[in-house]
């Protein structure tokens, strides 16, 4: 059964004292270009720089006292590794993080700064899962999945919940789609707290597994996912997919050129640092302008953790 309105409100209660209530920005020029009124919910200003802080925090707060004592484990090459480490440090519990050996050194450094205990492994999903399982058994730590866990999804829902508290009359919210944890949470928030508010996903053409999953009715995967939106290379899970099927209107696919163009526009016009995964939303709106024409549209800017030495423009 999909999570309830009461569970979303409980999640907000759980996280509100541990995360930033991020700002909502507007740009008259971007609204003019798109033909819609755009409201950007800026999770790039969140603690550790991404929405994932919300899901990680809710998952940890929801643990029993015995579970907290033993700590938590996850496998992640980036944002969730940082989010879980910082959330664990804030709440005062151990965090064991499995990271692939080829994860960016800047992300490994951030995890260490936040107090996460890193175990490196081969850069395959199989190796990551095996290493996490080993720690789980040895330390009796609780495994927290980055996107396919109910408490993580509920924590993620608090971003769109805040957006709708500020702008209750939004017609549409657009969310990026990667592992499915953010769009599932956004769908729940719109369902319970919006007024006929539709949710649309935005996804790179080069990593279109969620688009194909909604078409086929079962979870599809990508043989490869070569996209500048590196945060969106992961696939959906069995917990978030049913929520997406119920609460999301559809997914718009965008090209690499469109993502980079939208990224540049956001940097230029909003004067904020966002990662390519966040720019797929604006790219989707600009691609299908008729769909959004004259509407009030909320956009989830998922994060701002950018490798400044490797910008695509």
Q: What pLDDT score was predicted for residue 258?
A: 98
Output the pTM of the full model.
Answer: 0.96
Residue with tokens 């006292």: 65
Which pLDDT belongs to residue 81? 94
Backbone torsions φ then ψ of 199, nearest 5 degrees: -115, 130
The per-residue pLDDT string of the chain (313 residues; one tens digit each, 9 = 90 and over) reads 899 999 999 999 999 999 999 999 999 999 999 999 999 999 999 999 999 999 999 999 999 999 999 999 999 878 899 999 999 999 999 999 999 888 878 789 999 999 999 999 998 888 999 999 999 999 999 999 999 999 999 999 999 999 999 999 999 999 999 999 999 999 999 999 999 999 999 999 999 999 999 999 999 998 888 899 988 988 999 999 999 999 999 999 999 999 999 999 999 999 999 999 999 999 999 999 999 999 999 999 999 988 888 888 8
- Residues 14, 58 contacting (CB under 8 angstroms): yes
The two structure tokens encoding residue 41 = 């919910």
225: left (phi over 0), alpha (psi -120 to 50) or beta: beta
Task: Note if 52 is an active site residue.
Answer: yes
Of 41, 52, 107, 191, which one is the catalytic site residue?
52
Is 98 within 8 Å of 116 (Cβ atoms)? no
Q: Which of 77, 159, 278, 302 is catalytic?
A: 77
Domains of the chain: 5-50+149-310 (3.40.50.1100), 53-143 (3.40.50.1100)
Query: Which pLDDT score is estimated for 269?
Result: 96
Instruction: Give the pLDDT confidence score for residue 20 in this predicted structure.
Output: 97
pLDDT for position 123: 85
Q: How many CB atoms lie within 10 A of CB 130?
A: 14
Report the SS3 class of residue 87. helix
């Amino acid at each position: 059964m999909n999570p309830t309105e009461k569970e979303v409100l409980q999640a907000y209660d759980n996280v509100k004292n541990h995360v930033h209530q991020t700002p909502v920005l507007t740009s008259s020029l971007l609204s003019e270009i798109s033909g819609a009124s755009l409201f950007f919910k800026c999770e790039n200003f969140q603690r550790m720089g991404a929405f994932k802080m919300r899901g990680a925090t809710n998952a940890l707060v929801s643990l029993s006292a015995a579970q907290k004592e033993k700590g938590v484990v996850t496998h992640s090459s980036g944002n969730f590794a940082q989010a879980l480490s910082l959330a664990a440090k804030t709440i005062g519990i151990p965090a064991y993080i499995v990271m692939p050996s080829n994860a960016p050194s800047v992300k490994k450094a951030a995890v260490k700064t936040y107090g996460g205990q890193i175990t490196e492994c081969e850069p395959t999903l199989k190796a990551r899962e095996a290493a996490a399982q080993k720690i789980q058994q040895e330390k009796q730590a609780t495994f927290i999945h980055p996107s396919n866990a109910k408490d993580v999804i509920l924590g993620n829902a608090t971003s769109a919940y805040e957006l709708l508290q500020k702008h209750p009359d939004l017609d549409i919210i657009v969310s990026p789609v990667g592992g499915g944890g953010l769009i599932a949470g956004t769908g729940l928030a719109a369902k319970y707290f919006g007024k006929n508010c539709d949710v649309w996903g935005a996804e790179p053409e080069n990593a279109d597994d969620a688009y194909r999953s909604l078409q086929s009715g079962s979870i599809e995967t990508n043989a490869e996912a070569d996209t500048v939106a590196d945060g969106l290379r992961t696939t959906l899970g069995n917990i978030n997919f049913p929520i997406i099927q119920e609460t999301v209107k559809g997914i718009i696919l965008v090209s690499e050129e469109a993502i980079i163009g939208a990224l540049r526009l956001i940097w230029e016009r909003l004067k904020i640092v966002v990662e390519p995964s966040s720019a797929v939303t604006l790219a989707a709106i600009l691609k299908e302008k008729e769909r959004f024409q004259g509407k009030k549209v909320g956009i989830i800017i998922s994060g701002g953790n950018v490798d400044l030495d490797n910008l695509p423009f």
